[in-house]
Amino acid sequence: MKKAVLVIIVIVVAGVAGAHWYYSDRGRFTTAPEFTGLARTVTGNDLVSDHDPSVILRFDSTYRHVGGQKFILYGVADTEQHFFVETTADDKLKSVYWVQYEGYLPDNDYTYDYDDSPLRVTLGDTAFFTDAEIVESDPNRKRRRGTDGAMARELLASHGYTFPANFAYARLVHLTDESRRRELMIIFIDDLEPHGHTASELLEGGAKANLRDEVLAAHLDRVRETLQVLPR
C-alpha cells in the first residue's frame, strides 16, 4: 500500500513539474525564422529602417552584415534581427552587433519597461536605455530554445560563429513612441581576450575587479566610435 502511494506521489509530482516546464516555456510559441521579406534593408554598412524607428544604423567598415531573420517571439511580438560581425584574421568572432526591431502584436496590451536600466546613451538624436556588464559564458549551460538569444545564436552558428567565452556586453534600447510597445534594441558584444582581460578577473573578487567600470566605459565608447544612428 505504501509503495502504491509513493508511486502515485511520484507520478503527480512529475506531472506537475512537467506541466510547469511546458507552460512556463514561452519559447515554444516562437515561430520558425524567415530569412526573406524582411522590412529592413542593408546597403553596404548601412542598416536602413523606414519605420519603428525611421533611422539608418551605419556601422564601421570593420563590420560586415552576415544575415537577418524575422519571427514572432513568444507568440506575442513581431521581431526582426540583423547581425554585423567583426572577425579575427582566422575568421573567429571578435565582436558582434545584434540589432533587433521588436513590437507587440495588436492582440495584446503588453508594454516595454526599461526604467530600471542604470545608464542612458545618446547616439545622434536617438536616446537609449542602456545596460552594460561583463559576462563569463558557460558552454555547458542548458539554454531554452525559442528565446531571442537562442534565435541569435542559431543564426550566427549557421555562419560558423559563436559568442566569445568572455566578453563585455552592452544593451541599448530605444522605445520608438510613447506607447512603449515598439523598440529598437542594439546589443554589442566584444571579446575580452584581445584587450588582455578575462571575465573572472574583472568580476567581483577578481584580480582586476577595480578595472571593471573602466573596461565597461571603454566598451560603450567603442559603440560610439563604431556606430552612427542617422535620420532616415
- 102-160 pLDDT, tens per residue? 999 999 999 999 999 999 999 999 999 999 999 998 766 777 899 999 999 999 999 99
Task: Find out whether 201 and 208 touch, Cβ atoms under 8 Å.
Answer: yes
Omega prior to 118 cis, within 30 of 0: no
Query: pTM of the predicted model, to two decimals?
Result: 0.89
**Looking at the predicted structure, is the pLDDT value of residue 195 above 50?**
yes
| All cell numbers assigned to 51 | 519605420
